[in-house]
Amino acid sequence: MIRYVTRRLIQMVFLFLVFLTVTWFLLYILPGDSVALKYAGNPNIPPQAREVAMERLGLDKPVLIQFRDYMFNFFQGDLGVSFNQYPRPVVDIIGERLPRTLVLFLTALVTYYWAGFVAGKYLAWRRGNRGEMAVTIGGVGLYSMFLPFFAFMLIWFFSVQLGWLPISKFLDPEQWRDAPFAANQVFMRLFWVALIAAFAMFAANFAGHRSHSRALERILRVGGGALVIAGFLYYWFGTESGQSMRPYAGDIAFHMILPVLTLTLIAFAGVMLLTRSSMLETLREDFILTARAKGLPEGVIRDRHAARTALLPVVTSLVLAVATVIDGGVITEAVFSWPGMGEILISSVLNEDIPVAVGAFAFIGVLALIGHFVVDVLYGFLDPRIRVTEHG
Amino acid sequence: MVERNLPAETHMADPFVSEPIIQEVDSWWRIRLALMRRSFRDNWKIFRRNKIGVFGLVIIAFWGIMAVMPTVFFATGFWSPAVYDPVTGLELDPPTRTMTMVERITDPNTEIDQRAVLLDGRIPDTLRIGDTFDLPLQPAPPDGRHWLGTDPLGRDILSQLMHGARASFFLGIMAAVVTVVIATTIGSMAAYFGGIVDSALMRFADLLIMIPGVALLIVIGAVFTYQLWHLAVVIGILSGFGGTAIVLKSQALAVKVKPFIDAARVAGGSARHIIFYHLIPNVMPLSVLYMMFTVTGAIQSEAILSFLGILNTDTSWGLMMNLARTQGYLLQVADFWWLTIPAGMAVTLLSGAFFLVGRGMDEIVNPRLRRR
Amino acid sequence: MTARRLPLETSAGRAPLLEVSGLVMRYETDAGEVSAVENVSFSLGRGEAMGLVGESGCGKTSVALSLLRLAPDNARYQSGSVLWEGVDLLGLSHQQMRQHRWAEISMVFQGAMNAWNPVYRVGDQIREAMYQHFDPPLKPREMDQRVERLFELVGLDPTLQTRYPHELSGGMRQRAVIAMALSCEPKLIIADEPTTALDVIVQAQILEELKEIQEDLGLSVLYISHDMAVIAQVTDTIGVMYAGKLVEFGSTRDVFHRPRHPYSYLLLSSIPSVTGPRRRPVSLEGTPPNLLAPPSGCRFHPRCPWATEQCRKDEPPMMEIGPSQWAACWNSDQVPEMGEQLP
C-alpha cells in the first residue's frame, strides 16, 4: 500500500511538471493575440508594470529561456504581479481565494456523491424496469442541464420569489463590518473542522464495516456519528473560540446553501445513474447469490455486498469526474459571485489580467491533480485487487 | 510454372495482372459498403426498440428542423431580414404599454423602471407629471409577430433560437468529427504499435483527462480570441487526445487480437494498411458512440463560454443568456421568461438529447447491455 | 399402466431428509412462460449423495435453487412441495427461510471464482455466515478456531483465510467454498457443478475429498452436473433431467449400467469408455427444446430414435422398472443394453 501511494505520488509530481509545461507552451506560443501582444497592448497595465513584466518575463528572449525562467519562478512561488490589483502578487490573490474554493467545492463534492450513491443504490435495489425510462430521462435531464441557467432558476426561486436565501456572494457585508475575524480565518477554521469531522465519521464507519457483528457495527456507526455531531456542537457552542466565530461561520454556511444545492442537483444524477447500473450489474454476480444462500438479511446483502462492490466503478468514475467537477465549481463560482479560484479565473480572463489567469489555472490544475491522487489512493484502499497486482 | 518464377517487378508492371488488383480494391469497398449498410439496418432495428434513444433522436430532429427553418422563412419572405435577422434585426414597431408620469427622473437610464425604457432611452421632455404616454416595450412579450417575444435590443427571440441551434449543430458535429478522427487514429496506433508509442500517447491522454476542460478553454480565452470553429477544434483536440483516445484504444486492442488482423499481417499488409483498413473500421461503432458524448460536451462548453462573454460569436444560446444577464433580466424570470427559459432549455434539451442517443447506442455497441 | 409414486422411504429405510414432490416452477418472461421445472419429484435421505444430471438449461439448477428458494424474482411456483424434514419450504416466510439457508442447506456454487466477493477476505466471508446462524453467537476465539478447523478439513493451510479471493488459485478457492458451505453444520450441501472450472487432477482430488467429508460427517449431498462421469463417482442415486422434467431416477449403479430412458442411454453412450467393451460413440442429435413451447407428449420425442405415436401424444409418467429404478418412457424395454450397437 505504501509503495502504491509513493508511486502514485511520484507520478503526480511528474504529471504536474508536464501540465505546467503544456500550459505554458499553449498560452505563450499560441498564434494570434499572443501573450506578448496582450502585455504590450493592454491598457489596464500601468506603464511601470509593463516594463517590469516585459523584463521579468524576458519576452524578447528565446522561447526556451523564457520557459526556464517561468518554471524557475513558479517553484519559487513567484507567479508575477496582478495588473488589475497592481502591485499585488498573484500568489497572494490565490492564497486568499483557495480556502473559499476548497470549502465550497469539497462540501458540494461530498454532498452530491453521497446523494447520488444512495439514490442509485436504492433505485437498483428496487429494480424492475418500471420507471427506468423516467429515471434515465430525469437523470440525463438534470445531468445535461445548462448549469448557469439552472443556477439562476434556483436563485430566482429561492432568493427572489421566496426570499429564503441570499442571492450571491459569500457573506453579508453588513454583518461583517466590524467582525473580529478575516473571512479567510473563518474559512480555514470551517475547512479544518469539516475535515476532522469527516475523518472521524469515516473512521467510525470503516471500523463498523470491518467488524462482523451487526450489533457492534450499528454501535460504531450510530455512536460514531453521534459523537462527531456532539463534538461538532461542542466546538461551536461550548468552546470560546468556536462561540466567537459561530455567527460568522453561520453566515458563510448560509451563503453556501444555494451553490452547493445547485452543484448537487446537477451532478448527483450522473453518479446516481452510474451507481444504479453498476449496482444492477453487481446484483447479477454469483457472490450475491452466495450471500443470499448464506441467509444474510436483505439489508446486509444490499449494503455490505452489492453496494460495497458497486462502489468501485463509481470511485473510478470520480477519477474521470474530478476535472468535470472542478469545471462545475468554476462556473458555479462565477454565477454566484463566490470569490474563489474559479471566479478569479473568469474575471481575470475577462479583464485580460494574464498573470492572475495563468496562476489561477495552474492552481486549478494542482487541485485536479491532488483530487486525482486522493481518488487513486482511495481506490487502492477500497479494491484489494489493486493493492497487490498493480500495473502502470 | 514459368509465370510463378517471374520477378515481382514484372508482375507489377504487367497491365494484365494489375487490372484485377484494381478490381479487387473496388469490390473490397463494395463489400465494406454492403456490410455497413447491413449492420446499419440491423443496428437500427435494435436502436428503435430503445425508447430512450429514440426519444433523444426525436429531440435532435426537432432542433434540426428548427435550424433549417430560418432559411425557409427568409426564402419564402415570411420573415423579413430587417426585422428577424438574429443579429441586426430590429422590431421598429414594438407593442406599447400606457404609462402615467408620476415623477420626473433625470437619468432615465438608471432610475426609471427597467420595463419602461424607450427605444432611444429617453422620455420626451414635453411630458409633465400626470400625463400618460405609450411606452414601447422592449423586450416585448410573445405576440403574433414574435412568437417568443423580443430581446432588450428588439431582436426576435425565436429567430435567435433557431440560429443558435444552427451554431450548436455546427460546433457540436465539428468538434465530434475532430475528436473522433484524432481519437480513432491515436487509439488505433497506440493499440497496434504498443510499447513506447502506446505509453507516450496514453500518458498524454491521462494528463488531458485530468485538466478541467472548461477552465482550460476559459484561460485560453485570455490570450486568444475564439471563433466558433476554433472552439470546435480545441474541444476536438482535448477530447480526441484525451478520454476518447483511451476508450478507443482499449477497443482497438480487443480488435487487434482477432484472427483477421493476423491474417492481414501474414498476407503482407503494411501497418498503415492494417490500421486504416482493418482496425479503424472495426473501432468505428464505438467512435460514433463517443461522437454523441463529445457533442454533448461541446454544446455545453460553447454555451458556457459565450454566456461568460469569452467567445467571439454573434448567434448562440449562451449569448442570449449573456445578454439577459448583462441587461439585468436574468433574475426576473416570472416577468421576462422568454429571455432566459427558451435559451437555457435549448442548451439542456439538445445536449441532453445527444447524450440520450449515446446511451441508446451504448446498447448496440456493448452487447453486454443488450439483454431483457 | 399406472404410474407409481416414488418411494418415500429410501435405501436404508430412514425417513427422508428432503422430499420434493410434483414441483412445478415457471419463469415469467416478456416472451411468455418458460416451463423450467415440470412435475419433478424425488427424495433424499440423510447421509445420502444424489446426483442430478442433464444438459445445460434442463432445469437442474432451477431445482437446486428452489430448495433454497433462491430462484430469480420472475420464478413462479405453480404447484408441488419441497418438504424439509416434513416442513414445506415453499410455504415459509422470508424470515424463516433465511434461517434455514446455510444452517440446514448450504450450497457450493458453480464457478468458485465468482462465489467470493472480491473485496472481503475469504475467512471473513466464512465468519459472516457463522455470525448469522449461531445462536448464541460464537466468541471470536471460537470462530477463529472453527475457520481453522474447516480449512484443515478441506485440505487448506489455515493461514490462507486472511487472503483475498483473487490471491488464491482456482482449486484453493473451490476448497474454501466447500469450507464455507460446511461452516454452519448443514445437513445438506447442494454442489452445483462443483468442479467444472477446474483442471482434471484438481477436479478428482476435490471430488474425493467431498466424498470423504460427506461420509465422515454423515452429510447429504445433492450433486448437480452435466457430467455423468463426475456424478457416477460420488453418488448413491441419480436423477436424469431433460427439458425441465425428471426422466429417470434410480440407484447410480442401475442407471449407469442399465439406463432405461433413451435420453440417459444416449447421454451415457456419448461417453467413450476406456475399460468397457469397445463401441462406437453415439451422438445425441438435435438441440434441447424451446421451453417457451415445449413439445407435446414426451418432451424428448423429437430427438428420440425410438419415438412412437404415443410418445407424441401422451406424456409418460414415472414407471417402476426395477427395485430401485424408475423411468418416464413408454418404450423403456426398447432401449438397448449399454454396449450394444444401435440398430
- Can you give the pLDDT at residue C272? 65
Within 10 A of C229 (CB to CB), how many other CB atoms are there?
A: 11
Residue in chain C closest to A290 (alpha carbons) equals: C115
Instruction: Check whether A307 has a pLDDT greater than 50.
Output: yes
Of B206, B215, B359, the CB nearest to A364: B215
Our CA-based measurement puts residue B201 at a distance from the nearest CA of chain A, in whole angstroms, of 13
Give pLDDT, residue B20.
44
Query: CA–CA distance from B100 to each of A51, A74, B135, B140, B336 (Å)?
Result: 58, 63, 10, 19, 22
| Closest residue in B to A160 (Cα–Cα) | B331
Residue whose cell numbers read 488482423: B261
C164 and A382 within 8 Å at the Cβ level: the answer is: no
List pLDDT tens digits, range B112-150. Answer: 444 344 444 455 566 666 667 776 677 788 887 888 888
Above 70 in pLDDT, residue B254?
yes
- In a domain, residue A37? The reply is no
pLDDT band at C11 (very low <50, low <70, confident <90, very high): very low
d(CA A91, CA A360): 9
Dig out the grid coordinates for C84 from the structure.
424439509
Q: Which of A133, A322, A327 minimises the CB distance to B210?
A: A322
**Does any CB of chain C come closer than 8 Å to the CB of residue A296?**
yes
Do B331 and A330 lie within an 8 Å CB cutoff? no
Which of chain C's residues have a Cβ under 8 Å away from the Cβ of A383?
Answer: 118-119
- pLDDT of B350 > 90? The answer is yes
**Can you tell me the distance from the alpha carbon of B94 to that of B86, in angstroms, rounded to the nearest whole number?**
16
Chain C residue numbers with beta carbons less than 8 Å from the beta carbon of A294 are 101-102, 106, 128-129, 132
Is position A20 within any domain?
no
- Whether residues A309 and C118 touch (CB distance < 8 A) is answered with yes
Task: Read off the pLDDT of residues B158-206 as tens digits, 9 standing for 90 and up.
Answer: 989 999 999 999 999 999 999 999 998 888 888 888 888 888 888 888 8
Residue B112 CA to residue B110 CA, distance in Å, equals 6
Please answer yes or no on whether A152 and B347 come within 8 Å at the CB atom: no
Residues of chain C in contact with residue A295, where contact means CB-CB under 8 angstroms, are: 98-103, 129, 132-133
The shortest CB-CB distance from A345 to any of B52, B219, B225 is to: B219
A23 domain residue, yes or no: no
Which of A293, A309, A385 faces C107 most closely, judged by CB atoms?
Answer: A293
Judged against a pLDDT cut of 70, whether residue A305 lies above it is answered with yes
Domain assignment of residue A124, yes or no: yes
Cross-chain residue pair C70–A291, CB shorter than 8 Å:
no
- Residue A389 C-alpha, separation from nearest chain C C-alpha, in angstroms: 10
Write down the pLDDT at residue A16.
Answer: 85
Cell numbers for A352, please give them.
485580460
Residues 76-115 of B with CB under 8 A from A: none
**Cα A104 to chain centroid, rounded:** 8
Does A294 sit within 8 Å of C132, measured CB to CB?
yes
CB atoms closer than 10 angstroms to residue A314: 22
Q: Give A290→chain C minimum CA distance, Å.
A: 6
**A185 is a domain residue:** yes
Structure confidence by residue, pLDDT tens digits, B69-96: 888 888 888 888 888 888 887 777 777 7
Q: B1: pLDDT confidence band, cut at 50, 70 and 90?
A: very low
Nearest one of C72, C86, C105, C54 to C225, comparing CA atoms: C54
Q: Which residue of A has its CA nearest to C138?
A: A213
Nearest to A144 among B218, B307, B348 (CB): B348
Q: Is residue A197 part of a domain?
A: yes
Query: For residue C142, is pLDDT > 90?
Result: no
Q: Chain B residue with minimal CA distance to A149? A: B344
Answer whether residue A230 is part of any domain: yes
Q: Is A308 on the interface with C (CB under 8 A)?
A: yes
Contact A286 C119 (CB under 8 A): no
Cβ pair A352:B207 closer than 8 A: no
Pairing relation of β-strands C87-88 and C75-84?
antiparallel
Residue A25 falls inside a structural domain? no
| Structural domain boundaries, residue A311 | 96-348
Please tell me which chains touch B, using 3 or more CB pairs under 8 Å as the contact test.
Answer: A
pLDDT of residue A95: 86
Question: Rounded mean pLDDT of A110-127?
Answer: 85
Please tell me which residue of chain C has the smallest CA distance to A129: C30
Angstroms from B125 CA to nearest CA on chain A: 35
Would you tell me the crossing angle of helices B243-256 and B195-210 to the nearest 10 degrees? 150
Which of A212, A287, A389 has the CB atom closest to C116's CB atom? Answer: A287
Between these two residues, B104 and C86, which has the higher pLDDT value?
A: C86
Residue C304: the pLDDT is: 85
> If you measure CA to CA, which chain A residue comes closest to B296?
A144
Residue with the bigger pLDDT between A58 and B369: it is A58
Grid look-up 511538471 returns: A17
Q: Do C68 and A293 touch (CB under 8 A)?
A: yes
Strand order across the beta sheet in which C75-84 lies: C32-45, C16-29, C75-84, C87-88
Q: How does pLDDT run across C71-117, given as a tens digit for each residue?
A: 888 888 888 888 888 888 888 888 888 888 888 899 888 766 678 88
Question: Does A140 contact B352 at a Cβ distance shorter than 8 Å?
Answer: yes
Q: Which of A155, A346, A364 sits opposite B308 (nearest CB)?
A: A346
Instruction: Specify the residue for cell string 516594463.
Output: A51
Q: Is the pLDDT of residue C203 over 60?
A: yes
Task: Kindly give the residue spans of alpha helices, DSSP state H, lying in A43-182.
Answer: 47-57, 63-75, 90-126, 132-143, 147-154, 173-176
Question: Which residues of chain A make contact with B207, given a CB cutoff of 8 A?
Answer: 15, 18-19, 22
Q: Which chain A positions have a beta carbon within 8 Å of C164's beta carbon?
A: 384-385, 388
**pLDDT tens, residue by residue, C159-194:** 888 888 888 888 888 888 888 988 888 889 998 888
SS3 label, residue A89? strand
* Cβ of residue A212 closer than 8 Å to a chain C Cβ: yes
The CA distance from A249 to A338, in Å, is 15
pLDDT classification of C2: cutoffs 50, 70, 90: very low
Chain A residue with minimum CA distance to B243: A320
Which of B97, B96, B114 lies closest to B105, judged by CA?
B114
Better-scored residue on pLDDT, B137 or C51: C51
Determine the distance in angstroms separating the CA of B47 from the nearest CA of chain A, rounded to an integer. 15
Tell me the chain A residues in contact with residue B296 when contact means C-beta distances shorter than 8 Å: 144
Which B residues, 261 through 300, put their C-beta within 8 Å of a C-beta on chain A?
296, 300
Q: Tell me, what's the pLDDT at C340?
A: 55
Q: Is the pLDDT of residue A3 over 60?
A: yes
Question: What pLDDT does B77 receive?
Answer: 82
Rounded distance between C-alpha atoms, residue C187 and residue C198, angstroms:
26
Q: Rounded to an integer, what is the distance from CA A230 to the centroid of its chain?
A: 26
Comparison of pLDDT for B168 and B102, the residue scoring more = B168
Point out which residues pair with C19 in neighbouring strands. Answer: C43, C83
Interface test with A, best of C119, C125, C132, C167 (most A CBs within 10 A): C119
**Cβ separation of A354 and B209 shorter than 8 Å?**
no
The closest CB to that of C98, out of A295, A305, A385, belongs to: A295
A162 contacts chain C (CB < 8 A): no
| Residue B85 near residue B159 (C-beta atoms within 8 A) | yes
Measured in angstroms, the CA of C201 and the nearest CA of chain A are apart by 25
Report chain C residues whose CB lies below 8 A from the CB of A290.
Answer: 107, 109, 115-117
Of A34-38, A51-55, B272-276, which one has max mean pLDDT? B272-276
Query: DSSP of B242-259, one letter per residue?
Result: THHHHHHHHHHHHHHTSH
CA A308 to chain C, closest CA, distance in angstroms equals: 8
- pLDDT for position B17: 41
Q: How confident is the model at residue B59 (pLDDT cuts 50, 70, 90)?
A: very high
Question: What distances in angstroms separate CA A299 from CA A73, A198, C69, one per listed residue?
Answer: 56, 24, 18
Residues on chain A touching B51 (C-beta within 8 angstroms): 133
Q: Which chains touch A (3 or more CB pairs under 8 A)?
A: B, C
Does residue A286 sit at the C interface (CB-CB below 8 Å)? yes
- Cα B232 to Cα A6, B216, B304, distances in angstroms: 38, 14, 14
- Gyration radius (Cα) of chain C, Å: 21
Q: What is the pLDDT of residue C278?
A: 59
CB-neighbour burial class of residue A70 (10 A; exposed 0-12, middle 13-18, buried 19+): buried
**Does B219 touch chain A if contact means CB atoms closer than 8 Å?**
yes
Number of domains in chain A: 1
Mean per-residue pLDDT, A60-82? 77
CB proximity B210 to A under 8 Å: yes
Cβ contact C117–A305 (<8 Å): yes
pLDDT digit string, tens, across residues C291-307: 888 888 888 888 888 88
